[in-house]
Amino acid sequence: MLILPLFVACVALQDAPPPPASPAVTQPSISAPADYPTDAALLERVQKLASVESAWMKRMSFGKSSLGSPLDAWIIAKPGASAQPALLVVAGLDGVHLASTQCAVAAVEAVLAGDRSALEHASLIVIPVLNPDARALAASTKTPRATTPDPIDDDRDGAADEDGPEDVNGDGLITMMRFPSRPLHTPTHLIDTVDGRIVRAPDSKKHEHATHEYLVEGRDRDRDGRIAEDGVGGTDVNRNFPHRWPEFAPDAGAYPLSAAESLAFAEFIASHPEITTALIFGVADTLAEFPESQEKDASGSTPSIYHAEDHASYKELAKVWKDASKCEKAVDIAHGDLGGSLVLWLANHRGIAALSTSAFARPDAPKPPEGAPAVVPTGDADQQAWLEYSDRVFAGSGFIAWKAFEHPQLGAVEIGGWRPFFREQPTAIEAAKTAIAQGEATKAMLAQLPRIEIESLTTTPLADGLLQVELVLVNNGGLPTTTKMDTVARARPPILVRVSVPPSRLQNGKPVERVDRILAGSTARLTYTMLGTPGESVQLRVDGPGLATMQREITFPAATGAAR
């Protein structure tokens, strides 16, 4: 029987027992993808739930992947509900974050379980798998994969997908190769002097110099002097969106929205202006550790990450998420810039309050046995922490020991490194627990969506035929009606207030007024002064994205006096 560790993931457990103090197994800590539920099994769970909750759930197909797999969204809303603001959940962007689809499915289940009050004023839209092709290949090859499989000439030599990573040493895994730099080639890494398993970039502050080349396992099949530089596919969907699209990155696509998946998603977003908020389960984190950056892109008007005036709202939403999920940290698998990412495109081009999480964190290793030698810091604290966890809980099996190998083209190399999925995903058991916690967090976030209501509508006769009207709209939700960035991008329609009075009879106000933004717990006040005849009725109507039409009748009194 395989004993799995207690992965320090974002799960809502208060008194979990501590992990074992000594290694109990010789298996890798990651059981992905072998022990994970398949995407097909997860989607079947959603379909079965939909058959029971057909009044609350409907499926919408919005496109196909590059290999023709359907791209589906599930819309969960109260039966008979008119327009409502929506929370969008997106998962399955790649074949790296395999547990993301479980989190999305758990969100559907959590929102429909027990108390459904969150659906009284808001709806949930879930896309469980946005990149099915990459995930299918990752599952079949047992290797993390971010990109779509559509042929792309990565090295621009006139041939596509002819020189990809491969299992050169025949150990059943594709890992890494390290070797002293060749003549006329530039070294990029060095071997850590404290722990020789660690290969890292040199620290210029310590006057270190690179000595080794560090490449994915493979060979130079096209004889261009480069190793495994043109594999199957591909475009990383999460680097193919327009905001700060990394033009020269080989996995970013030929142009923004060049991937079938990203284009279909963009069209879906454009047709759903009711989406005010988005939660992305993926390889990057902006929730557990909120990015405080206030930098702007080359235009000087668009933030590199988030608009400074939206930071407070994002932090409030992050607090709701943390309180519900018990998650205080996350693994940022992206390890770098978010240019071209879905989350920042939603935030900065579409004006949607969008946040991303990997939903789990690097586990803390058990303390070393009493009397063990003191731990000496290496030059890479993150890799060292992962190694300590692997060593103390799994007898080191999260790392494939470096072994000498005579490469057919490079000569003497060493092949080894991190076991695939070891640092990217929790164990299957912990992934399931994490998904449940994230489902509850999603439900809590849904309850925060904006809720616009007419707080008051008062009329005051000023003279015969002259009436003053004051409308007060209130946002009783926990989030603004839209982001500050949306007022810059103008991507989503504003709230519109219309009165059926000809402009010539309006002494104050306009027939159509726009309300760009109402903060949580705040109001918007509109005042009109209008002419009319006694007994005449005019209509006042409030519309907006994700907002059910609110209509009131205003009647001119027979004579000046009490307001009606």
56-93 pLDDT, tens digit per residue, is 999 999 999 999 999 999 999 999 888 899 999 999 99
How confident is the model at residue 31, as a pLDDT? 62
Comparing CA positions, the residue from 116, 124, 146, 117 lying closest to residue 134 is 146
Q: What confidence score (pLDDT) does residue 301 get? A: 79
Q: How many of the other CB atoms lie within 10 Å of CB of 58? A: 13
Average pLDDT over residues 396-413: 94
Residue 360 has pLDDT above 90, yes or no: no
- Position 263 scores a pLDDT of 98
Q: For residue 151, is pLDDT > 80?
A: no
Pairing status of strand 512-515 against strand 537-544: unpaired
Contact 157, 188 (CB under 8 A): no
What integer pLDDT is reported at residue 7 of this predicted model?
Answer: 37
Measured distance CA(202)–CA(190) in Å, rounded: 6
Q: Class for domain 452-555, per CATH?
A: mainly beta
| 11: pLDDT strictly greater than 80 | no
Are the CB atoms for 259 and 342 separated by under 8 Å?
Answer: no
| Cα 5 from Cα 379, distance rounded (Å) | 27
Q: How far is CA 474 from CA 38, 480, 521, 542, in A?
A: 45, 11, 7, 12
Which range has the worst mean pLDDT, 312-316, 425-429, 470-474?
425-429
Lowest mean pLDDT among 115-124, 157-166, 403-412: 157-166
More confident residue, 284 or 563: 284
Quote the longest CA-to-CA distance of the chain. 101
CA–CA gap between residue 143 and residue 400 (Å, rounded): 14
Residue 87: closest CA among 46, 125, 127: 125
Whether the per-residue pLDDT at 472 is higher than 50: the answer is yes
pLDDT recorded at residue 293: 86
**DSSP element (H, E) containing 33:** none
Residues of the chain with CATH 2.60.40.10: 452-555
Residue 332: predicted pLDDT: 64
What pLDDT does residue 327 have? 86
Residues of the chain with CATH 3.40.630.10: 43-148+275-361
Q: What span, in angstroms and rounded, lies between the C-alpha atoms of 85 and 442? A: 15
Compute the average pLDDT of residues 21-49: 72
Per-residue pLDDT at 156 exceeds 80:
no
Residue 453 has pLDDT above 60, yes or no: yes
547 confidence band (pLDDT: 50, 70, 90): very high
How large is the average pLDDT for residues 106-123?
95
Label residue 311 by pLDDT band (50, 70, 90).
very high
Residue 27 has pLDDT above 50, yes or no: no
Is the pLDDT at 562 greater than 50? The verdict is no
The answer to whether the beta carbons of residues 216 and 167 sit under 8 Å apart is no
Question: Is the predicted pLDDT of residue 159 greater than 60, yes or no?
Answer: no
Smallest CA-to-CA distance from 391 within 399, 383, 381 is with 399
Of 41-55, 100-114, 389-403, which gets the smallest average pLDDT? Answer: 389-403
pLDDT at 153 over 80: no
pLDDT of 402 over the 70 cut: yes
Mean pLDDT of the chain: 88
| Band of pLDDT at residue 154, cut at 50, 70 and 90 | low
| CA distance linking residue 507 with residue 497, whole number of Å | 17
Confidence of residue 335 (pLDDT cuts 50, 70, 90): low
Report the alpha-carbon distance of residue 450 to residue 480 in Å, rounded.
6
Nearest to 7, CA basis, from 525, 537, 390: 390
Structure tokens at 67: 């290999």
If you average pLDDT over each of 155-159, 285-289, 442-446, which comes out highest?
A: 442-446
CATH superfamily of 43-148+275-361: Zn peptidases (3.40.630.10)
Residue-level pLDDT at 368: 87
pLDDT value at 24 more than 60:
no
Q: Tell me the C-alpha to C-alpha distance, in Å, between residue 10 and each of 33, 249, 288, 329.
A: 20, 32, 10, 8
Is there a cis peptide before residue 461, judged by omega within 30 degrees of 0?
Answer: no
- Where are the strands (E) in 310-381, listed by range? 353-357
| pLDDT above 80: residue 501 | yes
Contacts 24+ apart (CB under 8 A), 188-197: 188/212, 188/213, 188/214, 189/213, 189/214, 192/378, 192/379, 192/380, 193/379, 194/376, 194/377, 194/378, 194/379, 195/378, 195/384, 195/387, 196/402, 197/387, 197/399, 197/401, 197/402, 197/416
Rounded distance between C-alpha atoms, residue 149 and residue 375, angstroms: 43
Q: How far is CA 327 from the centre of its chain?
A: 15
Query: Quick check: 34 and 58 in contact, CB under 8 A?
Result: no
